[in-house]
Amino acid sequence: MTDRAWFDAAKGDIPQWAASMPKDADGTTIDWDWVRSLDLAHGVGTIPESTPQSIHDALKADYATRECLESIIAQCNSAFMTDFDRLIGSYRLPRALAYANRRLNDNINTMLHLGEQQHLWAVSRERRGRTTVAVLRPYSGSRPSNDDQGMLNLSGETGDASAGNTAAENSDVKFPTTVALDDIQDRTAAILDARAERRKAQRFQKRAGDAAMARANLSGATSPGGAASSGNATGHHPKPDWRDAYLPGRDVDAVMGIDIETTGIDPARDYIIDVGFEFMNMASPRPAGEPETYAYEQGYYAAGDAYGQSRLAFGVPPENAALGNALIAKLTGIDVRGRSSEAGYRLFDEWPQAQAGLLARLTQQPYVAHNATFEHSWFMLNVAGYAESYRAGRITIIDTLPMSRQWDPGAVPTNEHPYGDNTLDAYAKRQGALDSAHNERHLGLEDSHIMLVAMKHHLAALKAQRKGPWGPAGRAGVGGKSCGRKR
C-alpha cells in the first residue's frame, strides 16, 4: 500500500475491534458506524465561517468529536493487549484515530485563537488535575494569562510569539457580539478525573475480592500475608512499584538508549519533533570498527563507549506551526514555527520509512529510556508495527527511572520529592554522567547519551557492591519489561 491507503485498511479492522471492544474508556457504547464514516486521512474537524456563532458552533462540534475519539483511543491499548485470542490483528486503527485527532486538536487550537482575534473570549491555559486545559473567559480587553502558544493572524502568516501585543490586539477584525462560553469549555480534566475514579473503584473492588478469596482459601492459614521486601541499595527502602518490571537484569549488555522530544505530553494530540538514539554495551567492549568520535551539541560530551548515534528531526502541520509553541521552544530550543511541513520537514506520523527504520532498531536489542512509559505510549500511536511487535514479545524495555528510584542511594525522599529526585538531570549528575554546572539539554540524542553513561556507571557500582541486579532481589537475564515472555 502507498500514500494513505493504510487508513482504508485501518477502517477494514473495525469489525475486529467492534467484536472485542464494544465500549470506550468511559463505559459508553461505541458507535462504530460513526467511526467508519470519518474521513481520517483528510480531517475530522469543522471549518467555520468567520462569524461569532459559526466559530462557537464549530468549536463545540470539534470538542464533542475529540471527546469521542479520545475515549475510544484510551480503551484501545487495554483491548489490544488483553486480546488473548488474537481477534484483533493490527493496531493501525488506533494509530489512524490518533492521526486524525492530532489534526483535530490543531483545528480546535486554531479556533480558540480565532475567537481571541475576534474578541469573543480570552484564553488561558490552566493546570486542572491531571492535565492542562484551555479555559475561556469573556473578553475584557486584557491579554491572555500566559503565552504558551504563538500568535495567529487572519492572513495565515506566522506571528511573533515574543511580540508585545496579543492576537486580539493586533487584529483588525472585531465583533462586539458575545457568545455563550459555558458549552464550549474544555472538559478534558473532568473526563480524566472521572475515569481515574472509576479505575480506583475497580482496583478497590478487585482487592476486596482477592482478600475474600484468600480468607476462604485454607492455604492462606499456613502462608499468611505476602512476600516481604528484600530491600535495595538506597537504604530508604522505597515500596515496590509497577515500574520495577522495567529494571535491568544482571546479564544486560548491548542496549539502545532513546529519547524523544514532542510538542506536548499527549501522543493522541501532539507531534514527535526530535528523536535521538545511540547504542552502548553495559558489559562487553565497544564494537571494533565503529567511528571513534561523534559530535554532540555540547562540546564537553565525549562519545566514550557509545556508538551508532543518530539524530532525527521531524515537522508539524502548517496549522500547528502557525500557532507556535513558546513552552517547547524554551525547553528544547526547537521553534515549531520553522518546522512546518511546508518548509520541507517530514511529519513522523506520515513517514512510514522512518517508522520502519526506528522499529527495526527497537526490536534488535532492549531499548532504554528514562520514564520509558512515555516513549512507549508515543510509539504505540505513531510507529507502524510497534504495538504488534510489543504484544508478540519482540520488544524489551528498560527504564532508568526505577533504577534511580530503587537503587540510587542519592535518591533520598524529601518534602519536595517524596520518592527522591529522579529526574534524568538529577540521576545523571549523581552517576557522574553530567557535570553539576550543566543541565539536561532536552534534546533526544544528548539526553540519550547522558542516560546511557549514567546507567553504565550505576550498574558497575552496583555490581561491585553486590546490590541492585546482583543483590538478593536481583534477577538473572537481561531484565526489563516485555510482553509474553517469562524469565
What nine digits make up the cell of 193? 478525573
DSSP letters spanning 309-352: EEEEE--B-HHHHHH--HHHHHHHS--GGG-BGGGTPPPGGG-H
Q: How far, in Å, CA of 167 to CA of 156, rounded?
A: 12
CA dist 415 and 483 (Å) reads: 36
Contact 167, 119 (CB under 8 A): no
Going residue by residue through the chain (487 aa), what tens digit of pLDDT does each one get?
446 799 999 999 999 999 999 999 999 999 999 999 999 999 999 988 889 999 999 999 999 999 999 999 999 999 999 999 999 999 999 999 999 999 999 999 999 999 999 999 999 999 988 899 999 999 986 554 444 444 333 333 333 433 334 444 444 444 456 799 999 999 999 999 999 999 888 888 888 887 777 777 755 444 444 444 444 444 556 677 889 999 999 999 999 999 999 999 999 999 999 999 999 999 999 999 888 778 888 888 888 899 999 999 999 999 999 999 999 999 999 999 999 999 999 999 999 999 999 999 999 999 999 999 999 999 999 999 999 999 999 999 999 999 999 999 998 888 888 878 899 999 999 999 998 878 888 899 999 999 999 999 999 999 999 999 999 989 999 999 998 754 4
Provide the edge-to-edge strand list for the sheet that holds 481-482: 307-313, 272-281, 254-262, 367-369, 396-399, 481-482
Q: Which residues contact 166 (CB under 8 A, 6 or more apart)?
A: 116, 143, 144, 151
Beta strands in 150-291 (DSSP E): 254-262, 272-281
- DSSP type of residue 470: G
Q: 215: helix, coil or strand?
A: helix
CA–CA dist 337, 271 (Å, integer): 13
DSSP state of 23: B
DSSP state of 158: B
pLDDT (0 to 100) of residue 485:
54
CA-to-CA distance for 364 and 396, rounded, in angstroms? Answer: 9
Distance between CA atoms of 241 and 45, rounded to whole angstroms?
40
Q: Which of 324, 401, 397 is nearest to 149 (CA)?
A: 324
Q: Which amino acid is at 400?
A: T
Report the candidate in 216, 114, 211, 186 with the shortest Cα–Cα distance to residue 156: 114
- Residue-wise pLDDT tens digits, 249-280: 999 999 999 999 999 999 999 999 999 999 99
Predicted confidence at residue 219, as pLDDT, reads 55
Contact 60, 108 (CB under 8 A): no
- pLDDT value of position 228: 40
pTM, 2 dp: 0.87
Q: What cell was used for 114?
A: 480565532
pLDDT of residue 368: 98
Q: Look up residue 445 and give its amino acid.
A: L
If you count them, how many residues does the chain have?
487
Rounded CA separation 58/48 (Å): 6
